[in-house]
Structure 1
Amino acid sequence: MSKKNHLVAVDPKIFVEPFRVDGTKTFHLTSYKTAERGGIDKDRGQQIIKVNRDRLSDLQEKLYAQDRWSLLLIFQGMDAAGKDSAIESVFDGVNPQGCDVHSFKQPSTEELDHDFMWRAARRLPERGRIGIFNRSYYEEVLVVRVHPEILAKQKIPPKLVTKTIWRERFEDISAFEKYLARNGTVVLKFFLNVSKGEQRQRFLDRLEEPAKNWKFSMGDVAERKFWDRYQAAYQDMIHHTASIHAPWHVVPADHKWFARVVIGSTIVSALEQLDLQFPKVDKSELGEFNKVREALESEGKGVVRPRKLAVKKTATRNSGSVSASSPPRRAAGPARTT
């Protein structure tokens, strides 16, 4: 381990347990601070984020190669809580071939002709892959609960829309997540807990910075009027759906860098508990490999490789830049989004 990594090598659990909600204790959303920083500063946090990215990249490769487990990550939060940027940051450098990102917007006509879990069930990750839900089936007990007029458009038989429908949906979701866990899908859920004041500032930033104008929506501002209703809905949702097999993590989101520390540490910690290993090759296959190696080596006998010409570095006098022959850097692509 390098000296730099040694300085930031910490047990990721110290940034996980304080924010984990698994149904074993009484839960009150108001007990969780939105501006928590875990006793570290931003510079320290950035170092931990980098270490977590490296660890996640290695673990993701083993997850993919082993092809036994899958990982489902669910991100929920108020508008401007930082879901998009958190996903982009935490997974920077992770092989995009092993990840799928799905954003769930307003249901389509086809989706409204099915049960409320249908569209999410179609997007579940395969074994060996990481599935990322930017919003999810939890919208059905959040925005639909805050705006009950949406429920009327879901074509549910009237006699089934009772006062207990939200409790019933909590039960359905919990049963679904337990089923996934029993079949090898690790479910981790993140609620990005942002304050109303911080959300206001981020909306102002979007208005004032031309590069962020596209993020602004009048609908987002309109939803601020329902802030208290949403907070009550999140309280009820987390209380009823947090479990050992599918825990919630109430992530302090006023400081984006610390939110990324918590999210990355949570994912790394969960994957490390799976004891992921690269598949082992049996003796018969090793024998075949030796034969292939001998055949490839024999093909190369008598072939003279051209010598590489050394290229001297040449300085550009005016700009002060230095150019040299070097391999191009591999661009780290984002996780695939649908």
Structure 2
Amino acid sequence: MAGLSPALLAGHIPALPPAAAGIVTIEPGRPCLLSRIDPDADGGLDKDEAKAALSVERARIQGLQERLYGEGKRSLLVVFQAIDTGGKDGTIRSVLEGVNPQGCRVWSFKVPSTEELDHDFLWRYHKRTPGRGMIGVFNRSHYEDVLVVRVKDLVPEEVWRARYGLINDFERLLTASGTTVLKFFLHISKDEQKERLESRIADPEKHWKFDPADLVERRSWDAYQAAFDDALTRCSTPYAPWHVVPANRKWFRNLIVARTIADTLEAMNPQFPAAAEGIAGLTVPD
């Protein structure tokens, strides 16, 4: 296990910042019940306040991302999961606006290809994890293999149940190797999903975003909620806890996700490398 952090291998878990107000962090070892978390929560803010605060958090992310890239020693993986129409695309677009694309990569995981199916279930995710100095974003993730495959009965139960432990091992390996793992579940209500689907149907410019299969998937709402509850319960760990984001109000969702990313980067405290000696006294010739 060369290259792993000796401190983590010895059992020490790096300190993580407290979650931003409004987020529900799933305490490791305790059950997650999404039905008890209010997707309409807004932290007592109003929309204008949240939008102004979002600009501040974006600026923090931009500056800290530059330091992370310059340091070139560690990385950040941000994972987004949600039910259909939960807002993964919109959150990523809003929160990471202005971030230098040279230091950030977003990966969206669709139905696995034939090549991907010929490997273990984590293969396609592991090869997309961020390198040193990078922020990586997973729009859907390795959790699809205990969510969709479970609800659609694509693999036997004994197969997907064994994956919880493998996912925890995978995230522990990433953490021990210098990648901070930050996981968000965007929590919307069934009524909110209905409104979002109807808005896509009503607006011709949104038809490209609408998949009739979403109506079929909606019939499995309860099954997906149970699958999310189990995944968040079994895979919220001290080194990679799950954060549930009330996401009915998009402006609040964007703010608390941005603030949590900024706080996490700040806790990592990346530093620019030391400059070569004598630069301050150099003169550029005419």
TM-score w.r.t. structure 1 length? 0.77
Instruction: Say whether 1:92 aligns with 2:69.
Output: no
Any idea what SS the aligned residue of 1:127 has? coil
Correspondence for 2:169: 175
Correspondence for 1:81: 86
Instruction: Say whether 1:166 aligns with 2:160.
Output: yes
Any idea what SS the aligned residue of 2:28 has? coil
Q: How does 1:203-282 map to 2 (within 5 A)?
A: 203-281=197-275
**Rounded Cα–Cα distance in structure 2 between residues aligned with 1:266 and 1:119:** 27
Percent identity over paired residues: 46
Q: 1:122 aligns with which of 127, 143, 146?
A: 127
1:27 shift after superposition? 2.6
Instruction: Say whether 1:188 aligns with 2:179.
Output: no
Correspondence for 2:66: 61
**Rounded Cα–Cα distance in structure 2 between residues aligned with 1:250 and 1:18:** 6
1:216 shift after superposition? 0.6
- Whether the aligned pair in 2 keeps the contact of 1:15 and 1:38 (CA below 8 Å) is no
1:166 shift after superposition? 2.9
1:13 shift after superposition? 5.0
TM-score w.r.t. structure 2 length? 0.90
**Rounded Cα–Cα distance in structure 2 between residues aligned with 1:290 and 1:38:** 47
- Whether the aligned pair in 2 keeps the contact of 1:42 and 1:258 (CA below 8 Å) is yes
Q: For structure 1, which runs of at least 5 residues remain unmatched after alignment? A: 1-11, 152-160, 301-338
- Whether the aligned pair in 2 keeps the contact of 1:71 and 1:186 (CA below 8 Å) is yes
**Rounded Cα–Cα distance in structure 2 between residues aligned with 1:174 and 1:290:** 47
Kindly provide the amino acid, as one letter, of the partner of residue 206 in structure 1: R
**Rounded Cα–Cα distance in structure 1 between residues aligned with 2:207 and 2:114:** 30
Q: 1:286 aligns with which of 268, 277, 280?
A: 277
Any idea what SS the aligned residue of 1:286 has? coil
Instruction: Say whether 1:37 aligns with 2:31.
Output: no
Structure of greater Rg: 1
**Rounded Cα–Cα distance in structure 1 between residues aligned with 2:23 and 2:199:** 30
Any idea what SS the aligned residue of 1:220 has? helix
Q: How does 1:123-162 map to 2 (within 5 A)?
A: 123-148=128-153, 150-151=154-155, 161=156
1:29 shift after superposition? 1.8
Runs (4+) of structure 1 moved beyond 4 Å? none
**Rounded Cα–Cα distance in structure 1 between residues aligned with 2:95 and 2:223:** 30
1:16 shift after superposition? 4.6
Seen in structure 2, the aligned counterparts of structure 1 residues 276 and 183 have a Cα distance that, compared at 3 Å, is same
1:269 shift after superposition? 1.0
Any idea what SS the aligned residue of 1:164 has? helix
1:165 shift after superposition? 2.6
1:14 shift after superposition? 6.5
Kindly provide the amino acid, as one letter, of the partner of residue 54 in structure 2: I
Q: How does 1:299-318 map to 2 (within 5 A)?
A: 299-300=285-286
- Whether the aligned pair in 2 keeps the contact of 1:104 and 1:136 (CA below 8 Å) is yes
Seen in structure 2, the aligned counterparts of structure 1 residues 108 and 272 have a Cα distance that, compared at 3 Å, is same
- Whether the aligned pair in 2 keeps the contact of 1:72 and 1:125 (CA below 8 Å) is yes
Seen in structure 2, the aligned counterparts of structure 1 residues 255 and 226 have a Cα distance that, compared at 3 Å, is same
How many residues align structurally?
A: 270
**Rounded Cα–Cα distance in structure 1 between residues aligned with 2:230 and 2:18:** 26
Instruction: Say whether 1:109 aligns with 2:114.
Output: yes
Kindly provide the amino acid, as one letter, of the partner of residue 104 in structure 2: C
